[in-house]
Every structure is written in structure tokens, then in C-alpha cells.
């Protein structure tokens, strides 16, 4: 490969795979700046040839690629932009279809986790066209800081069920430290706060039921008088009020597990239920715990406006309202050591025993460390 003077102009000649290339008219040979630029490009051509990254077969193509004129450069840029725009337009964004599929799933069976995922997909502004962009969406959930790895894994399992683009993506599960259950003293303080509150005493019985049954929040908000068997003093937990997925409207669904549970009421819970029943309209379809306006309790609004205020007023370490379920399970197992009964009361099936043992075995089999030194 050599650079030479061709009648006062810069020329370049070289061979590649048996073919000779001669490029002329590359600038004035007396212009040191232009000559230096050609020599720099000569080095670039050498590197490309060595890397077998030289697909050209004629002088014109080589000159256009390595020594484009201003007009050539503008045309190349215009073609590149046009190509990129065409490719971008042809890329199919899977996000609208993912949203539609999620809405269909939620219409069949409500899931708080999938409803949350739906909101995140709707607010995500980037496209999801391939695995790389699907990974970017999952990474954005992790980077948000407010979503645990376990929650992201639940989101991912759902997405894998509706789109192959997420199939090869994985999330490392990190075991989270469980919130502390409320103590007996804290439960008493919370119930007394609601009972004596001028503005929120309406919710006392609702909170009491949450603590004394360990029911899921939407099971309690959806409880109707027809779900109480007064002959056996039993709650029949067979449905829940859940968000429809399209707004604040509540629709009746099966329980999370799809199982019917029968919960024998304790004396305190029974007395409270009987007192409420006597002052109600006693209609079987009426809610046991309606809001002050007669509508279903908005659990999100209750948590944000009232529950938070109660704990703050009592100077009790904040825990979510759903902790009432964790509190019931913790105290029940601490006193009875019976995982089978707890599974039937809180989940409605014996397969939940394994789950309970995984999370609550320390309450039954406490390790005592002896004084060794």
C-alpha cells in the first residue's frame, strides 16, 4: 500500500485478495494537512483489511466509504437516518399486547401483583420489542428501589406466561426480612385507639376482625351477612372484593387460593358480630363492614389516611395494615404449635403447611443457645 503524487494530486494504491485498487484525486499533494489525512485513512484501511472487514470490490465504493465528499457525506447520513427510521418503524412494540393480555387475565381472576404490574407497564414509556428491551424493563423495576426482588420475580413469572420475549430472563430471589408481628399490647392499643376515636371509631370492628381472623383485607371488605353461619358460629370465607383493573370499581372474586374456608369465631369476635348484626338491616347481601357512606371500604385509602395516623399517634413502629394477617398467624402458632389447623384457617388447604413452616418454624422450634463460657 502506498500514497503517491499523481500529477499534483494525492493518490493511493494497494492490493487486496489479488485485486488492485487505485484511488486518485484525494486532494492536493502539496497540502500537508490533506496528505496527513490520507495517510491516516491509509492506516484505517490496513486495519480493516487485516480484520477481514473490507467487503469492497471496486475503486468507487472504496473512495465513497473512506474519502466521501461533503455531498457524499450528506447523502450517506440521509440514507442512514432513513434506514434507522424505517427499522424503528418496523419494530413491533409488544407493550400494548402485554397490557391487553394482562387485562384479560385480571378480568378472569384478580391478582394484586398482576394489577400492579399492569400499572407499571402502562406507565413505562420505552418500547419492548425483543429480549434486550424486555430485560431493560425488568431492570427498571429493580432500579426503582421500591420493588423487592421477590415481587419482580412474581412479575416476571406472569410475563413469561404471556410472552416468550421474557422466557430467558431471570431474577435472583433475595429473601426479605419479614415485618415484626404486632404484640398483644400493641393490638390492644390499636383497637382502643379506634374505639375511642371521634372520627374513626366506625372502623373499630373492621380492624378487630382483621386481627382476630387473619383474613386477607379484600376478604374482610367483601364479607356479607350471608357468609356467617349463626348455627355453628362460623365465618364462611368464599369470596373477596377486588379492584376490577380498570378503575376504582370493586368486583366480587373468589379467594386468592380459590378455596372456601370455614372459620370458627372466638367468643370476642362472635360477640362483636352479633352486636353489629342487630344494628344492621340484616339483609344477606349487605356488607358486614361497609364504609361510613355504605360503600365497600377502600383499603388503600384506609391505609394511607387512617392506619398510618393510628400507629403514628400511638408511637408504634409502622407496619403495613396487611401485617394483621401475619400477626394472627404468628400468635396462633406461638400458642397452638399447630401448622395444619393454621393452614386450613388462613389458606383453606393443607398444602400451605409447607409455606407456613418455611416462614414460621422459628415460633414453634425455637433454638436455645446454652451458656458455654
Any idea which of 48-52, 92-96, 143-147 has the lowest mean pLDDT?
A: 143-147
Say whether pLDDT at 358 is over 80: yes
What is the pLDDT, as a whole number, of residue 60?
82
Q: φ, ψ for residue 23 (rounded to 5)?
A: -115, 120
Residues with Cβ < 8 Å from 158, sequence gap 6 or more?
102, 105, 111, 113, 114, 117
Say whether pLDDT at 82 is over 80: no
DSSP output for 208-235: HHHHHH---HHHHHT-BGGGEETTTTEE
Structure confidence by residue, pLDDT tens digits, 216-239: 999 999 999 999 999 999 999 999
What is the pLDDT, as a whole number, of residue 248?
63
- Can you tell me the distance from the alpha carbon of 207 to that of 170, in angstroms, rounded to the nearest whole number? 39
- Can you tell me the distance from the alpha carbon of 255 to that of 220, in angstroms, rounded to the nearest whole number? 11
Are β-strands 19-23 and 9-16 bridged in parallel, bridged antiparallel, or unpaired?
antiparallel
Mean pLDDT, to the nearest integer, of 13-37?
A: 88
Average pLDDT, the chain: 87
218: its cell numbers: 379484600
Mean pLDDT, to the nearest integer, of 42-61?
A: 85
Q: Are 240 and 256 in contact (CB under 8 A)?
A: yes
- Can you tell me the distance from the alpha carbon of 70 to that of 67, in angstroms, rounded to the nearest whole number? 10
What is the pLDDT, as a whole number, of residue 108?
84
What is the pLDDT, as a whole number, of residue 326?
93
What is the pLDDT, as a whole number, of residue 107?
85
pTM, entire model = 0.57
Say whether pLDDT at 88 is over 70: no
Between 32-50 and 59-66, two packed helices, what is the crossing angle to 10 degrees? 110
Cα of 358 vs its chain's centroid, Å: 24
Place of cell 487485516: 50
What is the pLDDT, as a whole number, of residue 168?
87
**Domain 184-364, second-level architecture:** Orthogonal Bundle (1.10)
**What's the longest Cα–Cα distance across the chain?**
113
Say whether pLDDT at 357 is over 60: yes
Give 261's pLDDT tier (boundaries 50, 70, 90).
Answer: very high
Residues with Cβ < 8 Å from 90, sequence gap 6 or more?
none
Q: Are 284 and 278 in contact (CB under 8 A)?
A: no
Mean pLDDT, to the nearest integer, of 172-195?
A: 84
Any idea which of 92-106, 291-305, 329-343 has the lowest mean pLDDT?
A: 92-106
Numbers of helices and strands, H then E, in the chain: 16, 8
Could you give the C-alpha distances from 174 to 147, 170, 224, 235, in angstroms and in order? 12, 13, 39, 36
What is the pLDDT, as a whole number, of residue 74?
58
Say whether pLDDT at 191 is over 90: yes
Give 152's pLDDT tier (boundaries 50, 70, 90).
Answer: confident
Place of cell 386468592: 256
What is the pLDDT, as a whole number, of residue 144?
58
Mean pLDDT, to the nearest integer, of 206-211?
A: 98
Any idea which of 92-96, 193-197, 265-269, 367-371 has the lowest mean pLDDT?
A: 367-371
SS3 71: helix
Q: Are 263 and 131 in contact (CB under 8 A)?
A: no
The ranges assigned to domains in the chain are 2-90, 95-166, 184-364
Give 37's pLDDT tier (boundaries 50, 70, 90).
Answer: confident
Q: Are 203 and 302 in contact (CB under 8 A)?
A: yes
Q: Are 94 and 165 in contact (CB under 8 A)?
A: yes
Amino acid at each position: 500500500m502506498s500514497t503517491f503524487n499523481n500529477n499534483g494530486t494525492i493518490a493511493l494504491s494497494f492490493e487486496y485478495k489479488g485485486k488492485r485498487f487505485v484511488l486518485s484525486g484525494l486532494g492536493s499533494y502539496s497540502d500537508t494537512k490533506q496528505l496527513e489525512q490520507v495517510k491516516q485513512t491509509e492506516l484505517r484501511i490496513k486495519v480493516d483489511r487485516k480484520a477481514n472487514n473490507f467487503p469492497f470490490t471496486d475503486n468507487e465504493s472504496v473512495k465513497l466509504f473512506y474519502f466521501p465528499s461533503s455531498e457524499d457525506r450528506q447523502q450517506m447520513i440521509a440514507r442512514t437516518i432513513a434506514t434507522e427510521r424505517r427499522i424503528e418503524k418496523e419494530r413491533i412494540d409488544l407493550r400494548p399486547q402485554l397490557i391487553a393480555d394482562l387485562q384479560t387475565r385480571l378480568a378472569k381472576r384478580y391478582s394484586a401483583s398482576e394489577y400492579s404490574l399492569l400499572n407499571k407497564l402502562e406507565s413505562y414509556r420505552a418500547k419492548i420489542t425483543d429480549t434486550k428491551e424486555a430485560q431493560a424493563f425488568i431492570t427498571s423495576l429493580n432500579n426503582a428501589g421500591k420493588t423487592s426482588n421477590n415481587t419482580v420475580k412474581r412479575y416476571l413469572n406472569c410475563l413469561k406466561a404471556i410472552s416468550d420475549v421474557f422466557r430467558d430472563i431471570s431474577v435472583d430471589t433475595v429473601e426479605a426480612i419479614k415485618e415484626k408481628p404486632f404484640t398483644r399490647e400493641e393490638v390492644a392499643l390499636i383497637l382502643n385507639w379506634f374505639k375511642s376515636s371521634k372520627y374513626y371509631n366506625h372502623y373499630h370492628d373492621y380492624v378487630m376482625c382483621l386481627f382476630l381472623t387473619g383474613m386477607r383485607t379484600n376478604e374482610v371488605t367483601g364479607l356479607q351477612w350471608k357468609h356467617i353461619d349463626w348455627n355453628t358460629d362460623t365465618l364462611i370465607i368464599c369470596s373477596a372484593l377486588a379492584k376490577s383493573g380498570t378503575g376504582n370499581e370493586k368486583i366480587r372474586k373468589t379467594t386468592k387460593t380459590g378455596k372456601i374456608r370455614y372459620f370458627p369465631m372466638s367468643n370476642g369476635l362472635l360477640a362483636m358480630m352479633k352486636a353489629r348484626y342487630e344494628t344492621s338491616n340484616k339483609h344477606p347481601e349487605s356488607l358486614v363492614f361497609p364504609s361510613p357512606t355504605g360503600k365497600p371500604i377502600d383499603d388503600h385509602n384506609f391505609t394511607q389516611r387512617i392506619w398510618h395516623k393510628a400507629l403514628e399517634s400511638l408511637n408504634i413502629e409502622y407496619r403495613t395494615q396487611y401485617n394483621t394477617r401475619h400477626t394472627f398467624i404468628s400468635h396462633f402458632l406461638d400458642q397452638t404449635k399447630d401448622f395444619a389447623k393454621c393452614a386450613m384457617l388462613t389458606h383453606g388447604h393443607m398444602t400451605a403447611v409447607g409455606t407456613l413452616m418455611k416462614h414460621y418454624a422459628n415460633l414453634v422450634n425455637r433454638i436455645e443457645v446454652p451458656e458455654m463460657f
